[in-house]
Chain A
Amino acid sequence: MNCDNVLEIKRLNISFMTDKKKINAINNVAFKIKKGEILGLVGESGSGKSITSLSILGLLPSPPAVIEESEILFHDLDLIQASEQQMQKIRGNRISMIFQEPMTSLNPLYTVGNQLLESVQKHQSLSKSEANDICIHTLKSVGLARAEAIMNEYPHQLSGGMRQRVMIAMAMVCQPEILIADEPTTALDVTIQSQILKLMKELNEKTGTSVLFITHDLGVVAEICHRVIVMYGGRIVEEGSVLDVFKNPQHPYTRGLLKSVPDIRNKQDKLYAIPGSVPKPGSIQKGCYFAPRCEFAKDICFENEPEFVQLTEDGHRSRCFLNENVGGATKNDK
């Protein structure tokens, strides 16, 4: 894997307007996706992981969403400032997306072939038969052996796993540089999930497409991702290689999350549970967002927000006052 960044979110701040006030949902999120890597974005519901991914493709409805002081660099183009025309050339072509529920993201009234052809013909000037060949080739590459027949079938004729394969084929058909996958296996059964994960890994190795993999399942992250970002309350709390974050988690939230997953390999008597529940967006005004649920919280945690501190040279970072005393750590102002 070389270290070129294909996408750099320099900073991202998103709020939502309600009748009464503006509620902050994403606070100063910044990260990079390297070429050819699978980057995991994990967090519980309401942590802002889906909003982050939607904002990359400019898919957030505005209003109510307000994106301020943000910069998302795709090569040299700022996707926040980009015109709708520019975005249309990127969406589905250079950056594509897979959603959680394959039934609702495929159009039930069109055949699979119709929907695949649309994206190829929109972005590439090809004859109909050339486009058709590309579609059939892509369907075969995602493991659908009866590709020719499936081209003429409707989504309801396919099973959940096959639909998700069609979605992946649709996303990959233009050979994008980045694939954003928002909980692509959450709606699937485990035996089907393992097929899809294997497929995504193979595609990533074969085509070099970078993947932003959004999920709440830590097991899936350990299985497929190279690097991982942990989000909580619209902020990144920890970032690092999968090995660093899972073997040596630094933020109390990451530690708690890892401990609260029931392990299939052995039986624990009592599970560790993080007390309390995820705070409502905008309910915490100052201090560390995790402080009210944190067992290590000190007075300072309720007053000031900790900085995102770099802990190791290969980019293991954590946002916690506990980490700021770590010897030799370089403070990084992001």
Chain B
Amino acid sequence: MTNKNLLQISNLSKSFESSKGFFRKVKNEVKAVDGVSFEVKQGETLGIVGESGCGKSTTGRLIMRLIEGGKGKINFEGQDVQSLSTKDLRKLRRDIQMIFQDPYASLNPRHTVEKIIEEPLIVHKIGTKEERRKRVAEVMDVVGLSPYHLKRYPHQFSGGQRQRIGIARALVTNPKLIIADEPVSALDVSIQAQVLNLLKDIQVEFGLTYLFIAHDLGVVRHISDRVAVMYLGRIVEIAEVEELFENPKHPYTKALLSSVPVPDPTFEKQEIVLTGEIPSPSNPPSGCTFHTRCNSCMDICKAEKPVLQQIQSGHQVACHLF
């Protein structure tokens, strides 16, 4: 791992509008991502965790500009992603690839595996037909699929194998950054372990950088070097993985960590059960968005949004307690 930033995000925001009422006049704004800043260093894995609706997937998609209209700055290797032309954007997508959650929905059922994996090479006009074939065979081998799988269709594979196909497709263009959006949450435990090990192996082999989006904290701890915790569109805490899990600062992070069930009946945990539900992002609470469920809520929390600030080297928290 070097100290060079591969990706730098500053103050990224995105809101979706929905309209309702007579003549759809009432505009309702949902702030999916609200002023998110972080950087991803070359060769590291940055995990983003949070519960549903916290904006973690939207963040991933904004970086690839799969969702347009994000405000703020996205800097990938010195180029400003937000202002790229369509042509340059295509080049960027060769360097940033994505792995999706549902291996059943993200592979075209009418294409053979060979076609699915070869397609990014055709789109990016890489190599001759021969060279492409060779490259496809190479990545198939890397992800642990056999050459006889090439002519088969996605429905002939199990969930774990399909996720391997998705990984092969992401690898084939030799990307620098892979954005993995819940890549193992649809898989069974025994298969999940195989895929996580594979992701770790290829990271070392090809020097990849990961942005790993997940809701499972055990998985995130296993794969990440640094972790960002999101709540209702904002990052509430970001730190090195060991620091975050051993020494969490934000009340939300503490509660989140304590509510994960541990597969050990003798483990006595200090559970902090949060009261209340996750507020709707279309009508977030004032001030700190977490104050409605927080155990240590003060008056200032209801009025003022806390900013993300450094409390130790590499450990940032957005909370009025610090």
Residue ranges of A at the interface with B (Cβ–Cβ < 8 Å): 44-45, 159-162, 189-195, 197-198, 216-223, 242-243, 246-247, 256-258, 260-265, 267-268, 270-275, 277-278
Contact = CB atoms under 8 A, between A and B. Distances in A.
B261 A219 contact: yes
A138 B168 CA distance: 52
A162 B277 contact: yes
A218 B222 CA distance: 17
B221 A193 contact: no
A110 B140 CA distance: 51
Given A260-B189, A261-B193, A263-B218, 8 more contacts: A45-B159, A195-B274, A219-B263, A262-B219, A263-B263, A274-B193, A275-B194, A277-B159
Interface in B263-291: 263-267, 271, 273-275, 277-278
Interface stretch (B12-20, B30-38, B86-94, B251-259): B251-259
Contacts of A274: 190, 193-194
Contact of B193 (A189, A267, A273, A278): A273
A195 B196 CA distance: 29
Contacts of B278: 159, 189, 191-192
B34 to A, nearest CB: 19
Contacts of A189: 51-52, 215, 278
B295 interface: no
A277 B160 contact: yes
A14 B18 CA distance: 49
Nearest to B264: A222
A162 B275 CA distance: 12
Contacts of A194: 259, 261, 271, 273-274
Given A247-B265, A262-B221, A267-B222, A190 B193 contact: no
A242 B263 CA distance: 10
Contacts of B205: none
B266 A195 contact: no
Interface of B: 51-52, 158-161, 188-194, 196-197, 200, 215-219, 221-222, 241-242, 245, 255-257, 259-267, 271, 273-275, 277-278
A246 B263 contact: yes
24 contacts: A44-B189, A44-B191, A189-B52, A189-B278, A191-B259, A192-B51, A194-B274, A197-B261, A218-B189, A220-B261, A242-B265, A247-B266, A256-B190, A260-B192, A261-B218, A262-B196, A264-B245, A265-B267, A268-B222, A272-B193, A273-B193, A273-B194, A273-B197, A274-B193
A277 B263 contact: no
A132 B214 CA distance: 42
Given A221-B263, A242-B265, A264-B260, A45 B188 contact: yes
Shortest beta-carbon contacts, A-B, top 7: A219-B261, A260-B193, A194-B259, A189-B51, A273-B193, A262-B218, A262-B222
A219 B262 contact: yes
A162 B261 CA distance: 20
Contacts of A45: 159, 188
- A161, A198, A218, A260: residue with the most chain B Cβ atoms closer than 10 Å: A260
Contacts of B262: 219, 222-223, 263-265
Contacts of B261: 193-194, 197, 217, 219-220, 222-223
Contacts of A162: 277
Given A258-B263, A267-B222, A44 B215 contact: no
B158 A261 contact: no
Contacts of A159: 277-278
Contacts of A263: 218, 221, 262-263
Max count, chain B CB within 10 A of own CB: residue among A216, A218, A264, A265: A264
Given A191-B255, A264-B260, A257 B217 contact: no
B193 A264 contact: no
Contacts of B271: 194
Contacts of B160: 277
Nearest to B219: A262
Contacts of A265: 262, 267
A260 B263 CA distance: 11
B205 to A, nearest CB: 14
Nearest to A194: B259
Contact of A271 (B158, B197, B216, B245): B197
Contacts of A191: 51, 255-256, 259, 273-274, 278
B33 to A, nearest CB: 18
Contacts of A217: 261
A264 B274 contact: no
Contacts of A258: 263
Contacts of B219: 262
A84 B266 CA distance: 44
A261 B263 contact: yes
Contacts of A268: 222
Nearest to B157: A277
A221 B267 CA distance: 13
A218 B216 CA distance: 13
